[in-house]
């Protein structure tokens, strides 16, 4: 499996005061760094699923790389929640939404949280004061660190 800057990522977070997980889906790597990783690591505010958060608000955060079948599996699941299936199936799937969604993610994603944080620490953190002016260069460097970390784990 090759890792590239074109990969898509999902952020799964559990936060104080929220019963259900908070999700951001279909994020390209640059947007993942901009909207979640950099503010999370610098303890600035950020949003997940429309909820304003800070690092201290989170019980858990996972960054997942979407597998090639994820979009189709989620589409099938969401289709089963619409008027296209019988009412009993929609009711059961609705009640079990979080559990079923997480199961789909577990089967069709790879947890890359540690590798993304490593990429941040090695490529972005040393130059964080210059993040905005050098954003493209730093994200490109972080992408290279991430890809190499995944290759060293046998994932690339």
- Which pLDDT band holds residue 85 (cuts at 50, 70, 90)? low
What pLDDT is stored for residue 104 in this prediction? 96
- Which pLDDT band holds residue 78 (cuts at 50, 70, 90)? confident
- Which pLDDT band holds residue 9 (cuts at 50, 70, 90)? very high
What pLDDT is stored for residue 2 in this prediction? 58
What pLDDT is stored for residue 149 in this prediction? 87
- Alpha helices by DSSP H, listed for the chain, are 29-32, 38-41, 70-80, 87-95, 97-108, 113-119, 135-152
pLDDT for 16-33, tens place per residue? 999 999 999 999 999 999
Segment holding 53, helix H or strand E:
strand 51-53
Please state the domain extents for the chain.
Answer: 1-66+112-156, 67-109
Q: Name 20's Cβ contacts closer than 8 Å, sequence gap at least 6.
A: 98
pLDDT for 89-101, tens place per residue? 888 888 999 999 9
What pLDDT is stored for residue 91 in this prediction? 86
CA–CA separation, 149 and 43 (whole Å): 25
What pLDDT is stored for residue 81 in this prediction? 81
What pLDDT is stored for residue 87 in this prediction? 84
């Amino acid at each position: 499996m090759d890792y590239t800057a074109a990969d898509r990522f999902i952020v799964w977070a559990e936060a104080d005061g929220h019963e259900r997980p908070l999700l951001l889906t279909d994020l390209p790597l640059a947007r993942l760094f901009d909207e979640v990783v950099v503010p999370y690591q610098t303890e600035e505010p950020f949003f997940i699923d429309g909820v304003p958060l800070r690092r201290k608000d989170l019980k858990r955060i996972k960054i997942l790389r979407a597998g090639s079948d994820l979009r189709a599996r989620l589409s099938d699941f969401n289709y089963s929640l619409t008027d296209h299936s019988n009412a009993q199936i929609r009711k059961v799937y609705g009640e079990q939404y979080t559990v079923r969604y997480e199961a789909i993610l577990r089967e069709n994603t790879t947890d890359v949280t540690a590798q993304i944080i490593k990429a941040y620490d090695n490529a972005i953190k040393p130059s964080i004061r210059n993040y905005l002016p050098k954003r493209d260069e730093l994200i490109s460097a972080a992408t290279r660190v991430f890809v190499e970390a995944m290759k060293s784990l046998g994932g690339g």
